[in-house]
Structure formats: structure tokens, C-alpha cells
Amino acid sequence: MGKGVHSLLAKKKRGEKIVSLTAYDCPTARLEEEAGLDFILVGDSMAMAVFGDETTLSADIDVMIAHTRAVRRGAPNTLVVGDMPFGTYECSDSQAVMNAVRFLARGGADAVKLEGGNRRMLSRVSAIIDSGIPVMGHLGLLPQSIRKTGGYRVVYSKDREQLFQEALALQEAGIFALILEGVEEKLAGELTRELRIPTVGIGAGRYTDGQILVVTDMLGLSGDFRPRFLKVYAELGSAIRSAVESYSSEVREGAFPGEEHAYHPREEK
């Protein structure tokens, strides 16, 4: 099983930055573990990154658990967090606990992540933690709430009171870390200094305790999706397209397979 959730708190206390990415499959998770990431999030962003949906709302828990299991196989020694998708924890505390248990028992996750910090979410978080399952929080821009907010909206200083109130309440409920998405840099920095638990930012500026990106975005596999907060570290999209074009050309021209790629009769000894 992966590193404990307390490893992130230890890094905050030492002033060391936390490094994370999403992953949705075994090969990617294996490479991320080899690169030394602190934790891997099997995000509901899979609905967009892998299945091409316009939002995360269509993420299915059975599919999420299957991909979490694949990530666990690829990264057996890394902290793996399963992202609980829309509709799997809103109805009741018992529903939330049941589905969180599935992420650990069937998916092999070390912890789960829930979005939001209102009174209902605090109840869900507390119930899951009381059942013995670590919970990571998520505040700021909440992709599962875009129907309510009317789109993907950055959180600015005018929302400071609500953000701080929810973050502190989640901390008291017992979350071990907090994702801050789409938050004004100064505000995210102030909150990070206020909290005992580590913060991990995506589009939250330079002053959080760590950073996370969607792996397909930072590898250049998401087409023209290039938001302000994203840095693309490799243009794998163009590299893959070039490789496929070369393969197609060689097959059509009869250059592949060559003699060296064919099996021949064995010589009798």
C-alpha cells in the first residue's frame, strides 16, 4: 500500500513543496511513481480527459474504481486518492461512506476526495472519516457545481469569508489536505498560512503548499485547451500524431513490416 496521508503534513511542516498529478491508467501511474510524485489523484477529470465529455458530471463510480485499481497497480508505493464523482455522496452520510469504502476495498485507494465545504459536505466528510477513511477536501472552483455557479469561475477576495470559513470547518472535520482550484493567488496564500493542513493548488498561484495538474493537460494531449494556469511540459500530442503518420505511411508503402519484423522457419539442429 502507498505512503500514508500524514506524509503530506510532514512535508508542509518541513517547508517542502508537494508534487502531484492525476493518472487514470497503470502505465502513467508507473511513470509518475518512478518520477517520485508525492500523491496521485484519480480525478473525475477522467470524464473529460479520457472520455471526451464536456464536464466531469458524467463520471461513473464503477469506471472510476476500475481506473483507480489500475493506478494502484502501477503505483503500489505512492499515495493514491480516489475522486468521488458527482452523485456518489450528496444524498446521505451512509451513501457517502458506502461509496468511499468501495474506493478503498475495490479500487485500492488510500483516501478519497470530496468537493465542497457547506454544512451537508461537512456531514459527509465527518461520516467518512469516522468510518476510518482519510478524506482530502476541495474548495474554490468546484467542477461538480458548475450547473449552480453557471460555469468555471475563479474565486476572488470578495469570497474570502466563505472560503476561509469552509476551509477551517473542513480542517476541524479532519481532512488531511485541501485542493484549492481556481483561487486568486494572494487569497490562496493567506489561506495556506492560516491552515495547519497542507494545501495543493491548481490555478491557485505560487503560495500553496503544493501543485497538481491534469496529466493529459501538462503533456500536451488536450488539444487547444490551454488555460492561464497550465504549463505544458511536453507536446506529446504532436509527437503521437507524427508517429502515427509515419506508421501509416510505411504500411501503405509496404515499408513496414520489414524482413526483420517477420518470423521465419526455424533451422533444424
Question: What gap in Å lies between CA 216 and CA 49, rounded to an integer?
Answer: 7
Q: Which grid coordinates belong to 71?
A: 493506478
Q: Which grid coordinates belong to 30?
A: 508507473
Catalytic residue from among 32, 115, 166, 181: 181
Question: What gap in Å lies between CA 255 and CA 77, rounded to an integer?
Answer: 43
Strands 135-140 and 39-42 come out as unpaired
Active site residue 172: no
Question: What gap in Å lies between CA 127 and CA 100, rounded to an integer?
Answer: 10
Sorted by sequence, the CB contacts under 8 Å of residue 66 that are 6+ apart come out as 107
| C-alpha distances in Å from residue 168, one per residue of 52, 145, 161, 186, 259 | 35, 20, 11, 17, 66
| C-alpha distances in Å from residue 85, one per residue of 99, 122, 162 | 10, 17, 23
What letters, b where the CB count within 10 A reaches 16 and e where it falls short, cover 141-158?
Answer: bbbbebeeeeeeebbeee
Instruction: Report the largest interatomic distance among the alpha carbons of the chain, rounded to a whole angstrom.
Output: 83
Residue 205, helix vs strand vs coil: coil
Active-site annotation, residues: 181
